[in-house]
């Protein structure tokens, strides 16, 4: 099946595309339901970071059930024993499971608190310790800083999306500085993560899953934040954005 481009309209999808997507959604939903139920049961007795291998199995299976070929390319400077803030380009609903198994780190995510009420998925995320934020609420940085610091103290890493919303055209959008400010305050290194190929699998504005693509997770060199000032944040954001968008733009150019 040929890949979509940034300008293709959803109306070009055929009946076969829709049938294939429906089958993949059904298989993926069954996998999600079964695996998250198992994880929630296990996590009643064992901390989530002690059964992280099971979460990785879930993530790999979820991506596999999109009909995608998955691979990870890790920079040699990424230390498996160092907690990081991983910042990833935001493409679709599969972003978290795409990135998660790329490194051995236990990664804690950030989620809207209103999503914790979603049956199974939200319950699992809350039980796992996902950091909740309120939509549109002011003054959340102090709360997030405490939550980030607690996770880092446990040796956990963090995974976040500095664009704040999914891309509409497959390119990398503007980065917000809030996450970078917190990383600087806590002195945690930031690892830029670029995911290519997932936009072809599914993109915002269409729920069709299009199988047959290679999805690559590029885990780039860590960027230190210790010693940076507030005035350094725009340059830091530009550096991280350039690293991630460079991979994404190269993927588009290759097509």
Tokens of 119: 């049956």
Q: What is the pLDDT of residues 217-244, one digit of tens each?
A: 999 999 999 999 999 999 999 999 999 9
Q: What is the pLDDT of residues 179-228, one digit of tens each?
A: 999 999 999 999 999 999 999 999 998 999 999 999 999 999 999 999 99
Nearest to 56 by CA among 107, 100, 94: 100
Residue 2, pLDDT > 50, answer no
> DSSP 3-state assignment of 181?
helix
Q: Which helix (H) or strand (E) holds 15?
A: helix 15-43
pTM: 0.92
Tokens of 115: 């999503």
**Spatial separation of the C-alpha atoms in residues 195 and 215, rounded to whole Å:** 7
How sure is the predictor about 1, in pLDDT bands with cuts at 50, 70 and 90? very low
Name 85's bridge partners. 158, 190
Question: Edge-to-edge strands of the sheet including 85-88?
Answer: 69-74, 214-219, 190-196, 85-88, 157-160, 107-108
Walk me through the domains of the chain, giving residue ranges and CATH numbers.
Answer: 14-253 (3.40.1130)
Q: Check: CB of residue 101 under 8 Å from CB of residue 201.
A: no
Q: What is the pLDDT of residues 80-90, one digit of tens each?
A: 999 999 999 99
What integer pLDDT is reported at residue 34 of this predicted model? 98
**Spatial separation of the C-alpha atoms in residues 6 and 168, rounded to whole Å:** 8
């Amino acid at each position: 099946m040929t890949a979509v481009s940034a300008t293709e309209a959803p109306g070009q999808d055929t009946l076969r595309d829709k049938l294939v997507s429906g089958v993949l959604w059904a298989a993926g939903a069954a996998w999600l339901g079964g695996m998250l139920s198992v994880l929630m049961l296990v996590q009643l007795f064992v901390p989530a970071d002690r059964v992280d291998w099971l979460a990785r199995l879930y993530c790999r299976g979820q991506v596999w059930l999109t009909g995608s070929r998955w691979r990870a390319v890790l920079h040699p400077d990424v230390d498996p024993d160092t907690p990081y803030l991983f910042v990833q380009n935001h493409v679709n609903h599969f972003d978290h499971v795409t990135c998660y198994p790329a490194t051995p780190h236990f990664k804690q995510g950030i989620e809207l608190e209103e999503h914790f009420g979603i049956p199974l998925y939200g319950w699992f995320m809350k039980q796992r310790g996902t950091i909740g934020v309120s939509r549109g609420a002011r003054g959340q940085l102090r709360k997030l800083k405490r939550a980030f610091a607690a996770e880092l103290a446990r040796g956990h890493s963090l995974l976040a999306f500095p664009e704040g919303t999914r891309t509409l055209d497959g390119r990398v959008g503007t980065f917000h500085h809030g996450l970078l400010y917190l990383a600087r305050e806590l002195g945690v290194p930031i690892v830029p993560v670029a995911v290519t190929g997932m936009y072809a699998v599914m993109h915002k504005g269409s729920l069709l899953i299009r199988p047959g693509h290679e999805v690559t997770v590029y885990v780039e060199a860590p960027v230190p934040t210790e010693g940076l000032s507030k005035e350094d944040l725009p340059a830091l954001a530009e550096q991280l954005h350039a690293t991630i968008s460079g991979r994404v733009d190269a993927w588009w150019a290759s097509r």
